[in-house]
């Protein structure tokens, strides 16, 4: 045991409440969570809601619901308590909109030490400036117009309450270095950094000031976030230095890409965790999938429980290159998890999907052989929302399919009809006690051999007659679930279709 106190690991997930949890943000939250848990540290949820123009009702609740569903428990910050949002921890408030005074205090401090200044430039001046810079193909940035106003001028403008912002006085031409957990050592020069706004004209802080102040005051040791924030990091480092605060560790995660390597976006598919939940992905499958977007343990293992991820995750082994969001892989993973869960849990998860698809049935009614139907499907589907189509044959009274579908390969309508008749005759005489999967299979296989048929010549039309589909669970199982009456009726209908 070390004699010295180890620095506490504290990570945070700091979403802006946009109304939904993006799967990319789920990965950011997951990596922050895994690292904190592995190091016996704390995982904190802070809400970055300083952009009042983007406020969405119920957004924080949705976020928490999605995190809870995914199994990521927040240790500190905004938490869910009895279905409502609450706060936990000594460093609150954890919503930035409730911390405005704190940001003002540090902005004032920076003004006092000459590391920030008031800027009174009007939006139209800034617009003209931007326009001019664009025309001569210069980077668009503030030109420092208010950097050197005299104290008198400033006081005069403040007295008359002129609209203003507070900007950071970025030091001129300094080289700084920092080490990113993924990209390694990075160097930047302050001449490339704009005098960023710290406090906006409405008195709210910008993201830069608020996140630096909060990460410091909340004792965050590792800032794990998406690569899109990498360009903000030099600005943040300057703020840490200006405030004489220690610089935390930064880890910028690679982008998530569509299979065509474009940035994962709403246009190409679903991006909200809620969308995946609605389609019937299990939280453990989505978490497993997302964990491997940008990290892998270096072995062949692909399936990990959350506990295993906590154990094996390695923050030092995150890839630099973008990670492809491959839905086929997610489907495969989900099917693996669906196969493994207990039938009782499968039934609980399946019921709402079935109820929605077949509202005319009551799925809590014991008369539906739900356990048998689900036992057939549990190993076949890769998403719960496929259950509706997969089980239609059972719930729909009439099947619609083209008669040709009944005909096996090179067989003919007449031969298929004849085989269906043979089958019907055999099953009509089958005593109710023999209506089990094993006995049905035995009898039908005998029938095939006795009549010199191939399996396909009899089992194919049987499958289509009973399910209306080319792909279905084995026909014996289907016949067993349908029972003698419905089975025989469907075989008769199929024969008739072929005669038409």
Q: Which residues are catalytic?
A: 266
The H-assigned helical ranges of 326-412 are 327-340, 343-357, 370-377, 387-395
Stretch that binds ligand GLU, among 13-21, 34-42, 84-92, 382-390 (CB under 6 A): 13-21
Q: Which is nearer to ligand GLU, 211 or 495 (CB)?
A: 211
Least distance in Å: CB of 183 to ligand GLU?
16
Question: Does position 11 bind ligand GLU by CB under 6 A?
Answer: no
Least distance in Å: CB of 371 to ligand GLU?
44
Question: Does position 96 bind ligand GLU by CB under 6 A?
Answer: no
Question: Does position 69 bind ligand GLU by CB under 6 A?
Answer: no
Question: Does position 378 bind ligand GLU by CB under 6 A?
Answer: no
The number of residues in the chain equals: 500
CA distance 375 to 364: 17
Residue of 9, 10, 11, 15 that binds ligand GLU (CB under 6 A):
15
Question: Does position 16 bind ligand GLU by CB under 6 A?
Answer: yes
Cα(first)–Cα(last) distance of the chain, in Å?
84
Which of 449, 453, 461 shows the shortest CA–CA distance to 498? Answer: 461
Question: Does position 211 bind ligand GLU by CB under 6 A?
Answer: yes
Question: Does position 14 bind ligand GLU by CB under 6 A?
Answer: yes
| Contact indicator for 378, 337 with CB cutoff of 8 Å | no
Least distance in Å: CB of 122 to ligand GLU?
28
Q: Which is nearer to ligand GLU, 208 or 417 (CB)?
A: 208
Helix (H) or strand (E) holding 211: helix 207-217
# chain residues binding ligand GLU, by CB under 6 A: 7
| Contact indicator for 239, 211 with CB cutoff of 8 Å | no
Stretch that binds ligand GLU, among 8-16, 37-45, 237-245, 265-273 (CB under 6 A): 8-16
**Tally of CB atoms within 10 A around 471:** 8
Question: Does position 392 bind ligand GLU by CB under 6 A?
Answer: no
Question: Does position 225 bind ligand GLU by CB under 6 A?
Answer: yes
Q: Percentage helix, strand, coil, to 5, in the chain?
A: 50, 15, 35
CA distance 32 to 251: 10
Stretch that binds ligand GLU, among 11-19, 312-320, 359-367, 464-472 (CB under 6 A): 11-19
Least distance in Å: CB of 229 to ligand GLU?
5
| Contact indicator for 36, 310 with CB cutoff of 8 Å | no
Q: Which is nearer to ligand GLU, 182 or 481 (CB)?
A: 182
Question: Does position 48 bind ligand GLU by CB under 6 A?
Answer: yes
Query: Token pair 């000594």 is at which residue?
Result: 90
Alpha carbon distances (Å) from 471 to 196, 279, 461, 498: 61, 21, 12, 20
Least distance in Å: CB of 171 to ligand GLU?
23
Least distance in Å: CB of 226 to ligand GLU?
7
- For 279-328, list the strands marked E by DSSP: 323-324
Most distant CA atoms of the chain, gap in Å: 109
CA 53 to chain centre: 25
User: What sign has the CA pseudo-torsion 45, 50, 51, 52?
Assistant: positive
Query: Token pair 């493994």 is at which residue?
Result: 340
Least distance in Å: CB of 271 to ligand GLU?
14
Question: Does position 312 bind ligand GLU by CB under 6 A?
Answer: no
Q: Which is nearer to ligand GLU, 225 or 312 (CB)?
A: 225
Positions that interact with ligand GLU (CB under 6 A): 14-16, 48, 211, 225, 229
């Amino acid at each position: 045991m070390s004699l010295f106190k180890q620095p506490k690991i504290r990570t945070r997930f700091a979403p802006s409440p946009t109304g939904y949890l993006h799967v990319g943000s789920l990965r950011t939250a997951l990596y922050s969570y895994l690292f904190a848990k592995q190091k016996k540290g704390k995982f904190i949820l802070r809400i970055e809601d300083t952009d009042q123009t983007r406020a969405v009702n119920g957004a924080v609740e949705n976020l928490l619901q999605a995190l809870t569903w995914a199994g990521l428990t927040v240790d500190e910050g905004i938490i869910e308590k009895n279905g409502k949002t609450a706060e936990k921890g000594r460093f609150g408030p954890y919503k930035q909109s409730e911390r405005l005074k704190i940001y003002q205090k540090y902005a004032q401090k920076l003004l006092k030490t000459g590391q920030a200044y008031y800027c009174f430039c009007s939006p139209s001046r800034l617009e003209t400036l931007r326009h001019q810079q664009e025309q001569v193909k210069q980077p668009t940035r503030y030109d420092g117009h208010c950097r050197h106003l005299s104290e008198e001028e400033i006081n005069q403008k403040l007295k008359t309450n002129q609209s203003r912002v507070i900007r950071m006085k970025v030091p001129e031409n300094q080289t700084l270095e920092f080490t990113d957990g993924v990209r390694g050592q990075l160097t930047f020069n302050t001449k490339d950094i704009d005098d960023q706004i710290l406090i906006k004209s409405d008195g709210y802080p910008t993201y830069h000031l608020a996140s630096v102040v909060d990460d410091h005051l909340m004792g965050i040791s590792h800032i794990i976030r998406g690569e899109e924030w990498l360009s903000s990091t030099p600005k943040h480092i300057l703020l840490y230095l200006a405030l004489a605060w220690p610089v935390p560790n930064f880890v910028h995660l690679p982008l998530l890409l569509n299979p065509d390597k474009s940035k994962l976006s709403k246009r190409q598919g679903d991006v909200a965790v809620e969308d995946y939940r609605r389609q019937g992905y299990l939280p453990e499958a989505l978490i497993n999938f997302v964990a491997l977007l940008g990290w892998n343990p270096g072995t062949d293992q692909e399936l990990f429980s959350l506990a295993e991820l906590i154990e094996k995750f390695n923050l030092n082994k995150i890839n630099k290159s973008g990670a492809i969001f491959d839905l086929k892989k997610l489907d495969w993973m989900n099917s693996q998890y669906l196969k493994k869960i207990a039938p009782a849990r499968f039934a609980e998860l399946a019921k709402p999907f079935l109820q929605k698809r077949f509202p005319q049935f009551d799925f809590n009614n014991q008369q539906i052989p739900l356990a048998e139907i689900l036992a057939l499907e549990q190993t076949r589907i890769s998403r719960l929302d496929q259950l509706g189509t997969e089980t239609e044959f059972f719930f729909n009274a009439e099947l619609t399919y083209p008669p040709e579908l009944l005909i096996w390969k090179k067989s003919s309508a007449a031969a298929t009809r004849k085989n269906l008749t043979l089958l019907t005759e055999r099953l009509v005489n089958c005593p109710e006690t023999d209506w089990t999967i094993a006995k049905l299979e035995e009898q039908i296989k005998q029938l095939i051999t006795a009549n010199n048929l191939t399996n396909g010549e009899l089992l194919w039309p049987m499958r289509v007659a009973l399910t209306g589909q080319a792909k279905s669970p084995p026909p014996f199982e289907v016949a067993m679930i349908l029972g003698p009456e419905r089975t025989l009726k469907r075989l008769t209908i199929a024969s008739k279709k072929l005669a038409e």
